[in-house]
Amino acid sequence: MQINCKGSLVDLSTPKVMGVLNLTPDSFYDGGKYKDAKKALLQVEKMLTEGATFIDVGAYSSRPGADHISESEEQKRLIPILVEILSEFPEVLISVDTFRSSVAKEAIEAGASLINDISAGNLDDNMLSTVAKLQVPYVMMHMKGTPQTMKQYTDYTDLVEEVNFYFSEKLSQARSLGINDCIIDPGFGFAKNTDQNYTLLNHLEALKFHDVPLLVGVSRKGMIYKLLQTTPQEALNGTSVLNTIAIQKKANILRVHDVKEAREVIQLLAQFN
């Protein structure tokens, strides 16, 4: 199972780690920590040293109820630091976390390698056609509503079946446009309550039906710290537990804030295959 990133084939049959770099002031765990280039570069260096294959850079906070910002504000936060990262680490594979086609286009043209879209094209009608033209891998996530409204949309008749149907439709649409490398993300915490998140994790292997790579992002999320009655800062142990389960259930990419610990999960589980 491979994806083509800027002409290099990345083999996902062995699980990989995607390190999170938030360039936002209000992300739920590390908001405001990496707003300037120097701190961002140090964090990228740390994550690459610890074994990240991808760095996922986002400038729009998608936590529940986060402030909506303009496209120009998102670009202003993202592009200068993206350019700095690629200048310092020219070989790095950068994933850009955006649902806006204009931001995606500018980021790929600046040297990013793939697009990670929380809305799978639902929040920008031009996103899928833009990704097709750019010929880059595309992470499509399951979500209903927007980051501002998604907590209202947690009614499902059969969650796993509905998520599978959603991806069947989205993958068909993407392939018809010529997007070759698609990755699916179940969207833990997005239009799903705590019980629904665990239902989805418990049935994660059902999503392998689509025969595309599977990305899991549970790092320090509410499904961990709310259940344990703690905080995002205290949720690393819980994150490692759920990442372990995700890898056992055939996840191909772990999207995390803590790269070293995720790499250790993958390394230890490799001894049992």
Return the active site residues.
221, 255
CA dihedral 18, 74, 224, 116 (to 10 degrees): -40
In the block, residue with structure tokens 């750019």: 134
Task: Return phi, psi of residue 242, to 5°.
Answer: -70, -35
Distance, in Å, from the CA atom of 258 to the CA atom of 115, rounded to the nearest integer, reads 21
Dmax over CA atoms of the chain, in Å, equals: 49
Residue 23: burial class (beta carbons within 10 Å; 0-12, 13-18, 19+): buried
- Pull the structure tokens for residue 129: 């056609």
